[in-house]
A and B are shown apart, each in its own frame.
Chain A
Amino acid sequence: MNRRGERASRLASCFRAGPLPPGEGGRSPGEGLAKRPHSALRATFSRREKVLAYAFPLILMLLLALPALAQDPRTIVEESQKRSNSTSQRYEGTLRVVDAKSKVSEKRWQFDRIGSHGDSKSVLRFLAPAEVKGVALLVINHPDRSSDQWMWTPAIARERRIALQDRSTRFFGTDFSFEDLEERDTDQFDFKLLGDQTIDGAVCWKIESQPKKTKISQYTHSYVWIRKDNYVVAQIENYKKTVLVRKAKYTDIQRVQNLWTAQTIEMTDVSRDSRTILKIEKLQYNLPMRDEDFTLQAIQR
């Protein structure tokens, strides 16, 4: 038996030596250990096995307590982010913008991201329609404040900073605002669990998120639905006071490189009665990317 096999066997035997549920003829480890003399204990278990014997009930208790901990809304949101965590991401997005009169326009962009939640950088570059090909948006997310955003327009060879007060503006005729393109770091929001609700047949936690005072946002609060089965965000409703401004629906959830990801996002601008359907294609995670490709100079290349 190799070293690893030996260790696994020890662990397995240790677990087997662990508690059986009361009423099934088992006795608690404490009970058994208390009845044995100390020297006998030393003789029976090695030091590692002793540690494991004591740690096991603690681990079990923690595992049993997890669902209870998950009821904390911040923990749920953090777990959701943790499960979608990757060092980088790339996809091509096709956007269908359908206005109130059912007029449809299509756009296409490539999205690259490097870094993890709240501390990432992303570049979004339009591939179509032809007249906006090359237009790029650089978003630098910060864990402690609102993101920095710059837009590069090749036709006039100028970059322009998107000021904070302009972030509620629609992004290039889509129903996403500039703010919707930045990541939401959990530390910048307060959360409240409002209960369970079913979205498209999946049971979800409904959580209210409210930006902290340090976070400048067009939205006074949002409702976020997170699926209980895979911790994927199913829906977000963004409000200004009591008025629903934008609603994002996440569907077509698939597992890509072990990460559950919504392949379709439908953003509705409620006041305009307009919606944008973003279809995610060619999605890849954890690609090798360079930090130097996420700078103001880089988006001009």
Chain B
Amino acid sequence: MSLLLALMLLSQNYTQRGFVESRLTLYPEAAVNDSAHAVGEMQVHYEGFYKPRFDFQIAVALDLRTDTHRQTERDLRFDWKDRERQRPLLSLRRLSTQYHHRGFTLETGKQAIRWGRTDIVNPTDRFAPRDFLTVVDNEFLGIDAVRGTYERGSNTIDAVWSPRLTPSRIPLNTQRWFVAPAGVPAITIQRDMPEGSQSGVRWSHVGPVEFAAAYYSGFSHVPSYERIPGKFAVREFYPEQRMAGGDVAVPLRWLSIKAEAGYFTSPDSRFDEHLLYVVQLERQSGEWFFVGGYGGQKVTARGTQSANFDPERGLTRTILARAGYTIGPTRSIAFETAIRDNGDGVWAKTEYSQAFGQHWRLTTGLSLIQGKPSDFLGQYRRNSHGLIAVKYSF
């Protein structure tokens, strides 16, 4: 078996890439439930692709992580499902087989699936749970799925079926990104994880104007909460969710307009039925790129849930902007901001990045968060931070 694996790795049909990254995040302020001012993280990410035939590929991606703050488990166990609250020490990010014949592609296994066209908020991106342990600096998680894509001319049909929900990883209740009101003792959280499958279909068209229509039926990958009567506890649940939506990109003479919207309904009366939308303008000029837009929501029927953790909805009624400047072939600087339209919350981030040689990159950044405690962004006002990251890519 090991000989077979070695032969595969030495084969010309095998390609690989990855990185080792070390990050240090410094928080000047202590949070109510977290007095630490520094968090160190280490991640080894590896991706391998074996292509024994022109029409068949096996892809694998693994993450090995640790940190100083117990955001990552300490036990070495192999995690396939990605359903635990802590990050696994060793996790499988992707293991899929991909077969294609003419315009048809079938991918089966753990994989990343992205829908939608906008950049900052993606209402139709339903198969893309995220790791929100650091809310403003999140990353995507893979899901178990069978995905069939048929592309003919300028039209593509994408059908996805996933046997189970992979939830987004939300902030740990012992840490600063979980905002606990001062003076309130810790409460018990009872987690109800749904066991049903999820599925969706998307039709997209490329041409002078690009557009897509999508339908999703499954569960919300971010949790909602309700009080458990008679107990000092809350139930964390992932409500059933249906989404019908679409996206469009219109290139104009001076800039591109992109828009994306999704209407969310549910047979679960606890869930808020709502419309989520985003409109953004995009332009690249010289060494600059700029993306600016507005994300909004309209709740059409209020559910009975007590609360929910939904960063996408949290970033609505917000002016969003991102800009970047390439200083040189190895250096770049980026700015990102989200400002609530009522001024209750502001998040601004700046990042400088420089490559050294073929493999090394240094990134430094500063995130400033201000606002009222009642606001989604404002609640993280104690979490302004600085970041230093060193990355070795191979």
Interfacial residues, chain A to chain B (CB-CB below 8 A) = 97, 99, 101, 103, 105-106, 128-131, 133-134, 148, 156-158, 161, 163-166, 168-170, 173-174, 274, 290, 292, 295-298, 301
Task: Select one of A97, A106, A134, A156 contacting B358, CB under 8 A.
Answer: A106
- Say how far B56's CB is from chain A's closest CB, in angstroms: 10
Interface pair B251/A163, CB less than 8 Å apart: yes
Closest partner residue, chain A, to B102 (CB atom): A292
C-alpha spacing A173/B327, complex, angstroms: 9
Measured between beta carbons, the chain B residues less than 8 angstroms from A170 are: 287, 326
Interface pair B251/A161, CB less than 8 Å apart: yes
Interface pair B328/A130, CB less than 8 Å apart: no
> Is the CB of B19 closer than 8 A to any CB of chain A?
yes
C-alpha spacing A232/B394, complex, angstroms: 38
Interface pair B103/A292, CB less than 8 Å apart: yes
Are A105 and B391 also in contact (CB < 8 A) when A129-B355, A129-B359 are? Answer: no
Measured between beta carbons, the chain A residues less than 8 angstroms from B329 are: 97, 99, 103, 105, 173-174, 274
Closest partner residue, chain B, to A166 (CB atom): B284
Are A297 and B330 also in contact (CB < 8 A) when A163-B251, A163-B256 are? Answer: no
Interface pair B393/A131, CB less than 8 Å apart: yes
Contacts A129-B359, A163-B284, A173-B326 aside, 11 further interface pairs with beta carbons under 8 A come to A129-B355, A131-B355, A131-B391, A131-B393, A158-B114, A161-B210, A163-B251, A163-B256, A165-B253, A169-B285, A169-B287
- Say how far A48's CB is from chain B's closest CB, in angstroms: 47
> Is the CB of B134 closer than 8 A to any CB of chain A?
no
B contacts with A: majority SS: strand
Interface pair B114/A129, CB less than 8 Å apart: no
Q: How would residues 85 to 123 of chain B score, 1 for a CB under 8 Å from any chain A CB and 0 otherwise? A: 000000000000010101101000000111000000000
> Is the CB of B226 closer than 8 A to any CB of chain A?
no
C-alpha spacing A264/B253, complex, angstroms: 34
C-alpha spacing A55/B286, complex, angstroms: 58
A–B Cβ pairs within 8 angstroms, 10 of them? A103-B330, A130-B394, A133-B17, A148-B206, A157-B113, A161-B256, A164-B251, A165-B284, A170-B287, A173-B330
C-alpha spacing A297/B328, complex, angstroms: 32
Are A169 and B286 also in contact (CB < 8 A) when A97-B329, A297-B151 are? Answer: yes
Interface pair A301/B251, CB less than 8 Å apart: no
B window 126-180: CB within 8 A of A: 140, 149, 151, 156
Interface pair A169/B355, CB less than 8 Å apart: no
Interface pair B112/A157, CB less than 8 Å apart: yes
Measured between beta carbons, the chain B residues less than 8 angstroms from A297 are: 100, 103, 105, 149, 151, 156
Interface pair A295/B210, CB less than 8 Å apart: no
C-alpha spacing A296/B289, complex, angstroms: 23
Measured between beta carbons, the chain A residues less than 8 angstroms from B251 are: 161, 163-165
- Say how far B97's CB is from chain A's closest CB, in angstroms: 12
> Is the CB of B274 closer than 8 A to any CB of chain A?
no
C-alpha spacing A274/B331, complex, angstroms: 14
Closest partner residue, chain B, to A300 (CB atom): B105
Interface pair B206/A296, CB less than 8 Å apart: yes
Task: Select one of A101, A165, A274, A301 contacting B283, CB under 8 A.
Answer: A165
C-alpha spacing A101/B329, complex, angstroms: 11
Interface pair B330/A295, CB less than 8 Å apart: no
Measured between beta carbons, the chain B residues less than 8 angstroms from A157 are: 112-114, 140
